[in-house]
Structure 1
């Protein structure tokens, strides 16, 4: 059952969607809670669910040829997460999406989302917003890696995700920044020294 507070909260961060649009989408969506360690999406599957994280935290990661887990993204409250491989390229996901905390989500299959949007002319104009939201994170990551130093990436991470440093182990933050945990420690030390002077 969708309650008024949930609709209001999602409406407050939903871009161009109006109150009625948000209510309509939530009525078409399912709800699921994931416990820490559970996967929302598994690699090598064609799961095309789009998840809105109502409460909690997930990481997106891949496993390299040596068997190491490489975390590429961290997503928390009020963010969307999905498999870009499945949705945009119709290919099996290369990534796992895993809950790091108890995580409450609303979810809808991308195909069903498309149908809901097409049936409602007012909602259909917001399709662009939903796709942009999914792509924004990928492009931001490319931009930060090509245009910023590791220290600048860390400062950007802090600015964009102020609560995550206390919720996420350093090894995952280091992965997301493309540095080692030792380098992350050095970056923090340099920033602390600059702040003191």
Structure 2
């Protein structure tokens, strides 16, 4: 974990480096939850390998995907509400995965005032806001086919790794509708 974070941020503050050396891997089986609705998100996770999905369950128990993360992703509770309140979503492995967890409180203390981490947080927040705005636009103004074409352009890695029904949920359509769109776009 220290190698990954050092590659992204440069030399880490001593306390952050010590914390990274103490991190333990978590092996997740396909379908295993890393965080459940109502739980408290208390870690920064580095997804060494695998695939994770963040999803909500509606009143009827139907899942709606919020986001996906693949190999090498850093995921953490980026807002105060995510750190302080129970979450309203699940985080689950879509395939066997290996995640390294750092206690968020320790990491936040160790990187307080560390400019490279603050810059990364700023870039991630900006990207998250941009993604949310683009997704809102897509749901309000694009057809399902246009949303799928945008997905192919923006996240080609997802197409190879994320199951069709999960992609369909993220697009806001059924897996049957997504299959039809794909067949129409790729005849034969």
Scaled to the shorter chain, the TM-score interval is 0.7 to 0.9
Residue 191 in structure 1 maps to residue 179 in structure 2: no
Quick one: which of 146, 151, 173 aligns to 1:157? 151
Q: How far is 1:113 from its partner?
A: 1.3
- Whether the 8 Å CA contact 2:41–2:82 is kept in 1: the answer is no
Q: Return closer, same or farther for 1:86/1:67 CA change in 2, 3 Å cut-off.
A: farther
Secondary structure of 1:94's partner? Answer: coil
Higher relative contact order (CA 8 A, sep 6+): 2
Residue in 2 that maps onto 1:110 = 104
**Aligned-partner Cα distance in 2 for 1:151–1:28:** 46
**Structure 2 counterpart of 1:32, from 19, 26, 38:** 26
Note closer, same or farther for the CA distance 1:103–1:124 as it changes in structure 2 (3 Å cut).
same
Contact 2:42 2:83 in 1 (8 A): no
| Residue 94 (str. 1) matches residue 110 (str. 2) | no
Deviations 1:14-43, CA, capped at 9 Å, x for gaps: 2xx11x229826335442221212111111
Q: Note the residue ranges of structure 1 that are not aligned, 5 or more in a row.
A: none
Q: TM-score, normalised by structure 2?
A: 0.79
TM-score by length of 1: 0.76
Moved over 6 A (4+): none
* Structure 1 position 187, deviation (Å): 2.4
Contact 1:61 1:95 in 2 (8 A): yes
Superposed, which structure 2 residues align to 1:35-46 within 5 Å? 35-46=29-40
Aligned-partner SS, 2:72: coil
**Equivalent residues in 2 for 1:1-197, closer than 5 Å:** 7=3, 11-12=6-7, 14=8, 17-18=9-10, 20-21=11-12, 24=17, 26-27=20-21, 29-83=23-77, 88=82, 90-118=84-112, 121=113, 123-130=114-121, 132-133=123-124, 136-137=127-128, 139-147=130-138, 149=142, 150-192=144-186
Structure 2: state its 5+ residue gaps: none
Shift of 1:82: 3.7
Q: CA deviation at 1:68?
A: 1.1
Contact 1:51 1:107 in 2 (8 A): yes
Q: CA RMSD in A?
A: 2.9
Q: Secondary structure at the match of 1:21?
A: coil
Aligned residues: 182
